[in-house]
Amino acid sequence: MMAATYKSYSDNELIRLLMEDDHLAYLSIYERWSRWLYVCACKKLNDREEIKDLLQDVFTALWQNRHLLNPNTPLAGYLYATLRYRIIKLITQKKIEPVYFESLAAFDVNDNTSTDDLVREKELSRLINGEIELMPQKMQKVFRMSREFHLSHREIACQLGLSEATVKKHVNNALKMLRLKFADLLTLLFLFF
């Protein structure tokens, strides 16, 4: 049973506790916001099982990203933005799924990817990650949240307490740095492959 003290905490206090790995704060956030998020999701989707899965994803992401949160972030807005992103992603996947399966049916089962291609791909990935690690800390964090966690500029801004313009600037600068660093390599790849 949830301690009465947690129920009296503000959202910001719960976020601070969550960032300190307090599982009871996490459960309190779930109790406080899960019904509201469920109602919001029902307005967009009809499948109750899908909605339950989405809510599980939202709260799993909250726990996994708890150290990236900003204690002053409006919790309802953060949770709603995460849910909205997941709903859009689900709807997009549903639209793409038939096309994807059709392309799989036409795909050659004998994959001709050579070991050499895989080695080159792995090496390129290593080089790119090395360059990302050389970026300024804040730019690196924003870029990784954008590319690895597939968060929108708004979600990143909300989590880090930055403006969307700042997030966009960090992402654009990171991409520019990578393009400059790898422009010659990419030109060679397009010429020879």
For the chain, which domains are there? Answer: 1-107 (1.10.1740.10), 114-193 (1.10.10.10)
Asked whether the predicted pLDDT for residue 170 surpasses 50, the reply is yes
pLDDT at 178: 78
Grade residue 188 by pLDDT with cuts at 50, 70 and 90.
very low
pLDDT at 174: 87
Mean per-residue pLDDT, 65-71: 88
What is the rounded average pLDDT for all residues in the chain?
81
Whole-prediction pTM value?
A: 0.50
Q: 3-state class of 151 per DSSP?
A: coil
d(CA 123, CA 125): 5
Kindly report the number of other CB atoms within 10 A of residue 156's CB atom: 24
Asked whether the predicted pLDDT for residue 191 surpasses 60, the reply is no
d(CA 55, CA 48): 10
143 contacts 170 by C-beta, under 8 angstroms: yes
- Percent of the chain past pLDDT 90, that is, above it, reads 34
pLDDT at 147: 81
Grade residue 18 by pLDDT with cuts at 50, 70 and 90.
very high
d(CA 75, CA 159): 10
Of 52, 58, 50, residue with least CA distance to 75: 58
107-133 CB burial, b ≥16 within 10 A, e <16: eeeeeeeeeeeeeeeeeeeeeeeebbe
Segment 140-164, tens digit of pLDDT? 899 888 887 788 899 999 989 999 9
pLDDT at 106: 54
